[in-house]
Amino acid sequence: MARGSAEDYLASLNAKFYFEDATSLMLKARPQRPAEFLLQYFEDLQGQDYVVGREFSFVNGTTRNRAAFLAAFESAYGHFDDAAPMLVGDLHQLVALLCPGFPEGRVRRARVSLQGPRSGCPSLARWGVQ
């Protein structure tokens, strides 16, 4: 396998991002059994909850993380009453409970983007976001 293709493969998996994150968390936790810690880290990546409570830089770090965050958000708040209007600031507070440091400007821009006439995405309309 050529060197370039190996690098492309690892980049497609975001391997460097996740290995650096796992190493950073391991150094903070300093577990007695580091192999088990790493195994648990990579097993957790198979779900959606691994992004809950993580900083925005991690959530925003990969497409997989952003998709997992959206799934975790829907799982946590999908039961809310669709008829109750919600202000963008209120929605941002809910987002920040799952992801500390999530920029409010991102929520505001999403509101504008997703409520446009050609967006085809009812997500924020479903939430009654104003």
pLDDT at 109: 85
- 1-46 has which CATH code? 1.20.890
pLDDT, average across residues 23-36 = 97
Mean per-residue pLDDT of the chain? 85
Spatial neighbors of 29 by CB under 8 A, at least 6 apart, are 37
d(CA 80, CA 78): 6
pLDDT value for 80:
78
**What is the distance between the alpha carbons of residues 69 and 67, in angstroms, rounded to a whole number?**
5
Domain boundaries, the chain: 1-46, 51-130
